[in-house]
Structure 1
Amino acid sequence: MQTSQNQWPKFRSASPRILLLTNQYFLVGELQAACERLDTEHLMINFDTKEMDLDTFVSKMLTALTTFKPDFVLTVNHLGVDHEGVLATLLDKFDVPFASWFVDNPHLVLGTYQDRHPAKTALFTWDADNIDSLKAKGFDNVFHLPLGADPTRFVPHGRQKEEWCAPISFVGNSMLFKTLKRLEAANPPQRLLESSIMIARAFGESDEHFPGRFLRKNFPELREDFESLESTFRTQAYETFITWQATLMYRLDCVLRTLDFNPLIVGDPGWKELLKGRDGWRYHKELSYYEDLPDFYPSCDINFNCTSQQMKGAVNQRVFDVPCCGAFLLTDYRRQMEDLFEPGSEIVFFNHPDEIPGLVDMYLNAPKKRQRIAQAARKRILAEHTYDHRMRSLMESMRATFG
């Protein structure tokens, strides 16, 4: 294959060369560590969280592309990708494939991006339910890639603290302040604003994945108000608000079912507002993902999980992290979990919040059963669900598609 002066052969060696883009998102560290364990040559560019001027951005990318000569560029949730399409133009010039692994709803991200470099772009999504809708948006190369665990990071270090010990715990954001910020950004008209909680509740109780489509179908009297948002930024902010508000209400409903068991709630101060006046629970400020959680999870008899409403079928990070530490998890049912774990023997779930108290009571009184299930889940993770497995799968898909 003949290449121009600006291009080079791709996927010629047994292991690809990967240019990683990040702004300190947690998952990129796992991918970098997996590359090191797999002896995969890689270079990381950290754009940090600050705004970078266009000249600096282009200079950094040009240097990396022309000196490192990657087989493809990889990012998570499109982080490091500019909205104006400058990166896409550069990748097109050098004929470099691009991979973006979405571990949050891609439809709440992609709408504000231009020049998607579609011919050489592959999207990976942790939620298999997104595949058809992403293809409908013009992305031909879409793959399912679930989350996983890093067993070198999520292993107890023996640093448990007495304040962490609890019969049941929940680690998660209250979503209170996040929803308010998204609603402020959307600045919806008054009638839509007044109906927002009702819409969010109905969306959370539905099987629909897309809040905009759900609103148009189920609240036709508000369609004109919704479409009056006009800009992609405001529309996306409002759809994100609906998703996060639905999560807040669902998450609160589930947590309230645990209050008879003295739960420890770990997260932002929004929980103090949501549970104000409620007895029987303890609050702990947010913990460090890497430094604290591997020791925190084994400190609790039951680690409780209720999934964000941005995914109706996929499982979240906690489903892998908790058992990877050898700890027990009680989670809500998601369709895709049965492709990852054996129900009952490797994962325990509730189908409806009404089931929570009975399951908590049963498993608090069955320590040996909790231990067996946690050990079986950890064994499955080590065999099939580490980030080494995920990186191998991603690299094989990129080679098969663009090699």
Structure 2
Amino acid sequence: MVSLSFRTGQKEGYRAGYSEGYRLGGCRALMERIPAEPLPFFDLKILYVPQGFESIDEGVAMGLGRMVRECIVVPPEQVVEVALQQVPDIILVMNGLHVFPEDFRLSMNRLRESGFRTAIWFVDDPYFTEETPGLAQHFDVVFTHELSCVPLYQSVGVKEVFYLPLGVHPELFTPTMAGPAYRSDICFIGNAFRNRAALFDELVPFLKGKQVRIIGGYWERLARYKELSPYVYSGFIPPAETVKFYNGAKIVINLHRPTQSGEDNRNSLNLPGRSINPRTFEINACGTLQITDIREDLTRYYTPGVDIETFGSVQELKHKISYYLSQEDQRRSLAQRALQTTMTRHTYVHRLPELLNLIMAHGLDQQ
């Protein structure tokens, strides 16, 4: 005899599967209607030195490969050898921190002295400003995704400094079928910086009875960890898994890390965070509703209430979560508009022509 609980679970599973399929079908239909724009072509050989951020590195390398004569990806410890052999027009370094060898700055000096045009794109600003100004001085051109760091790099003598936000790797972050193991009402992925831990501690009573996933490191910092532990997966997950969790969620929360210097940051200058993180683009590229805290440049890329939602307090966040969990059509419509905005304006294919044009306009043609 089939139990009532089994039948109830079967019906709920069917409804969830139907809703997911309906969402995915709408996202894919929308993407099929986005016209394919012709890509610009740059008659350049690029030497690209990745940081080790898989979702960024792959997106940039693939984007460059589609619009330049040749893109060569090389690890930092081989940059001098390969550059001297291949003679690229531009050497583009991603971030230059964490995994780079100690003598990397000397390598860049040697290459500049040999006449190579060098550029770096900082993507961890402003959290490592104790290191990045010294590193920036070893490059001809500096790009940063953080508005507050442009005057910083100018102040240490870098003549060519540009604000350039990141984007999304659309072949990775895209609408996809997630499956029951990845479904949730509310999802957050990221490390438990102090402001994030404080937020979720305050949300504990509100989260009860909801399907919640909190994924990342250091979540034992939670004051109410015991109560939240059923929701927590501690540790790193690869980008491909992140995509599934984003797709399986009804709502994804985005809360930027704090900028104060301390155990999580090396920002003794205490520069503020004015710009959005890459996660903003990545969540929206999955066709899932995002509710984010507010950074100054957010409205350059998205319109709150149209293709993204924002919160300025815990109370406002709870109100908007409750509202959108109960309003599936509105939640889906806003998420699909976010998907359209992202795929038509904010992929690396959209960012890289600006980067290459800026490098070319400020010195490459005169070499």
Same fold (TM over 0.5): yes
**Aligned-pair identity (%):** 22
Check 1:273–1:338 CA distance in 2 against 1; reply closer, same or farther (3 A cut): closer
**Which amino acid in structure 2 is aligned with residue 70 of structure 1?**
P
Q: Deviations 1:182-230 (Å, cap 9, x if unpaired)?
A: xxxxxxxxxxxxxxxxxxxxxxxxxxxxxxxxxxxxxxxxxxxxxxxxx
> 1:82 deviation in Å?
4.0
CA distance in 2, matches of 1:394, 1:254: 36
Q: Summarize the alignment of residues 233-382 of structure 1 with structure 2, pairs less than 5 Å apart.
A: 248-259=193-204, 260-261=206-207, 262=210, 263-268=212-217, 270-274=218-222, 275-279=224-228, 282-286=231-235, 288-310=237-259, 312-382=273-343
1:36 matched residue in structure 2: 65
Q: Does 1:16 align with 2:48?
A: no
> 1:127 deviation in Å?
1.1
2:7 matched residue in structure 1: none
Alpha-carbon contact 2:44-2:68 (below 8 Å) kept: no
1:90 corresponds to which of 104, 110, 127: 110
Q: Does 1:166 align with 2:184?
A: yes
1:139 corresponds to which of 151, 158, 161: 158
Alpha-carbon contact 1:363-1:369 (below 8 Å) kept: yes
> 1:95 deviation in Å?
1.2
CA distance in 2, matches of 1:17, 1:348: 41
Unaligned runs of 5+ in 1: 1-12, 48-56, 175-247
Check 1:364–1:91 CA distance in 2 against 1; reply closer, same or farther (3 A cut): same
1:50 matched residue in structure 2: none
> 1:279 deviation in Å?
5.0
Check 1:73–1:363 CA distance in 2 against 1; reply closer, same or farther (3 A cut): same
CA distance in 1, matches of 2:136, 2:295: 31
Unaligned runs of 5+ in 2: 1-40, 260-271
**Which amino acid in structure 2 is aligned with residue 123 of structure 1?**
V
> 1:71 deviation in Å?
1.1
Q: Secondary structure at the match of 1:41?
A: strand
> 1:312 deviation in Å?
2.2
Q: Deviations 1:250-274 (Å, cap 9, x if unpaired)?
A: 1112223433233321112x31452
1:71 matched residue in structure 2: 89
Alpha-carbon contact 2:90-2:116 (below 8 Å) kept: yes
**Which amino acid in structure 1 is aligned with residue 90 of structure 2?**
F
Question: What is the TM-score normalised by the length of structure 1?
Answer: 0.69
> 1:37 deviation in Å?
2.3
Aligned length: 304
Check 1:117–1:133 CA distance in 2 against 1; reply closer, same or farther (3 A cut): closer
Alpha-carbon contact 2:184-2:213 (below 8 Å) kept: yes
Question: What is the TM-score normalised by the length of structure 2?
Answer: 0.76
Check 1:333–1:32 CA distance in 2 against 1; reply closer, same or farther (3 A cut): same
Q: Secondary structure at the match of 2:225?
A: coil
Check 1:352–1:14 CA distance in 2 against 1; reply closer, same or farther (3 A cut): same
CA distance in 1, matches of 2:162, 2:101: 20
Alpha-carbon contact 2:93-2:120 (below 8 Å) kept: yes
CA distance in 1, matches of 2:79, 2:183: 47
Alpha-carbon contact 1:28-1:75 (below 8 Å) kept: no
Moved more, 256-265 or 324-333: 256-265
Check 1:401–1:344 CA distance in 2 against 1; reply closer, same or farther (3 A cut): same
CA distance in 2, matches of 1:109, 1:82: 17
CA distance in 1, matches of 2:156, 2:279: 30
> 1:131 deviation in Å?
0.9
Q: Secondary structure at the match of 2:215?
A: strand
1:111 matched residue in structure 2: 131
**Which amino acid in structure 1 is aligned with residue 243 of structure 2?**
P
Q: Deviations 1:290-338 (Å, cap 9, x if unpaired)?
A: 3212221121111011001235211112211111011111110111001
CA distance in 2, matches of 1:398, 1:332: 33
Check 1:15–1:352 CA distance in 2 against 1; reply closer, same or farther (3 A cut): farther
**Which amino acid in structure 2 is aligned with residue 126 of structure 1?**
H
**Which amino acid in structure 2 is aligned with residue 337 of structure 1?**
L
Check 1:372–1:37 CA distance in 2 against 1; reply closer, same or farther (3 A cut): same
> 1:84 deviation in Å?
6.7
